[in-house]
Amino acid sequence: MKPCNKRGVALALMLILMLSPVVAAENRLGPLFDHTDLVALGDVHGSERPVDYLIGQLQQPATAARVDNIVVEFGNARHQALADEYVLSGADLTVESLQPIWRDTLYFMAWQTPQYLHLMSFLRQHNATSEHAIRLVLTEPEFDWSSITREQWQALTVSREVSYQRTVQQEVLNRKQTAVLLFGSFHQMKIPLAVAGKEGVFTSLVAGLRNQGEEVITLWPHTGPALESSSPTGGEYQVPTLIDLQTDPYGQQRLSDFSGRFQSDKPLSAIADYYLYQGADFRTAQPDERNIKDRRWHQEMRRRAALTGGRVQQQVDGWLERYVQPCKSDYAKEQ
């Protein structure tokens, strides 16, 4: 696309936003369960905003009472008993003993920031003081990093959406319960769609559930600069805000204009029901300090990177260079 055309698209989207009515999100998560048992909240790797929003919503008793499970991408199902022990039973466990939950995942680099521990800690505290318990359900397929081969790892990355769907069916739907599905946004698309970086047409977790007849309401999180308000005084939208993509003009923008990962002219409303705006978000969440200081973890990261190669290798190398090497330099200067 030519630069002038890109500017035209940007101006058009800004006009849409200025004309768009919005709905305050402060009390909206709970009422969504009037229409479904499953609400999919898109996560953003490198941002704390979606998890912070979820915790804020669950702090409202009326909302927490509607939610039976938080189903997450960030945990290896091999450690479900450990998660239950901490979140449901309230066991006094150290962070180090909990780390395998998110470290033993297929794409472990996505969970280096501390908000996932914060979510687990919040659920543990909530369950200790509330009559209605909320369970944390881990959906990544069970495997062991100490024995897996590259071929087995690759096979699991291909089949994981089916594994996610199976877990939701067994742990939520078969039990006639409700759940918030907390997964990366592209796992939340309502329809099968071609996405850059994935071969062929990608059927997400949510698309798979919808294909089997389940109703899922999806919330796509905002990333990027602030959105301008249409109020007379201008400024940002109220934070948080849910934009109803099914009725609002913002939902009519083409996916190819919305994200470079799409090559589709379908509207944004085809893949999500609501757009969750929480202010400007440039994905600047910092890693947990424990991860930066843990040399054994760095060694294990390198071993896994050598095993898997490709994208994971690049992520590990870049992360270590950015966060660990400067620490070594600072330490050397102090000596």
C-alpha span between 118 and 100 (Å, rounded): 15
Q: Is the dihedral of CA 120, 183, 151, 167 positive or negative?
A: positive
> What residue has token string 């849409």?
16
pLDDT of 224-280, one tens digit each? 999 875 545 556 668 888 999 999 888 999 999 999 999 899 999 999 999 999 999
Output the pLDDT for position 227: 83
Hey, what are 259's tokens?
């994200």
Smallest CA-to-CA distance from 43 within 187, 203, 239, 251 is with: 187
Output the pLDDT for position 250: 87
326 & 278 share domain: no
Query: Does the residue 5 lie in any domain?
Result: no
Domains held by the chain: number: 2
Domain of residue 144: give its range.
12-286
Hey, what are 45's tokens?
């790797």
240 & 317 share domain: no
DSSP annotation of 248 reads S
Query: Does the residue 4 lie in any domain?
Result: no
Residue 218's Cβ-side half-sphere holds a number of Cα atoms within 13 Å equal to: 30
308 & 197 share domain: no
279 & 328 share domain: no
89 & 234 share domain: yes
Residue 105's Cβ-side half-sphere holds a number of Cα atoms within 13 Å equal to: 22
Hey, what are 94's tokens?
């150290």
148 neighbors 87 (Cβ within 8 angstroms): no
CATH of residue 48: 3.40.50
Q: What is the pTM of this model?
A: 0.90
pLDDT score of 330 more than 90 = no
83 neighbors 136 (Cβ within 8 angstroms): yes
C-alpha span between 253 and 258 (Å, rounded): 7
202 & 125 share domain: yes
205 & 334 share domain: no
pLDDT score of 220 more than 70 = yes
298 & 259 share domain: no
Question: Distances from the Cα of 41 to the Cαs of 15, 216, 222, in angstroms?
Answer: 27, 10, 11
Q: Which residues pair with 76 in a beta bridge?
A: 140
**Over the chain, what is the mean pLDDT?**
90
| Cis previous bond, 240, omega within 30 | yes
204 & 188 share domain: yes
C-alpha span between 199 and 312 (Å, rounded): 17
Helices 150-171 & 295-308 angle (0-180, nearest 10): 100
Residue 273's Cβ-side half-sphere holds a number of Cα atoms within 13 Å equal to: 18
90: number of Cβ within 10 Å = 12
Q: φ and ψ at 97, to 5 degrees?
A: -75, -20
208 & 279 share domain: yes
300 & 278 share domain: no
pLDDT of 109-160, one tens digit each? 999 999 999 999 999 999 999 999 999 999 999 999 999 999 999 999 999 9
Q: What percent of the chain has pLDDT over 70?
A: 87
38 & 174 share domain: yes
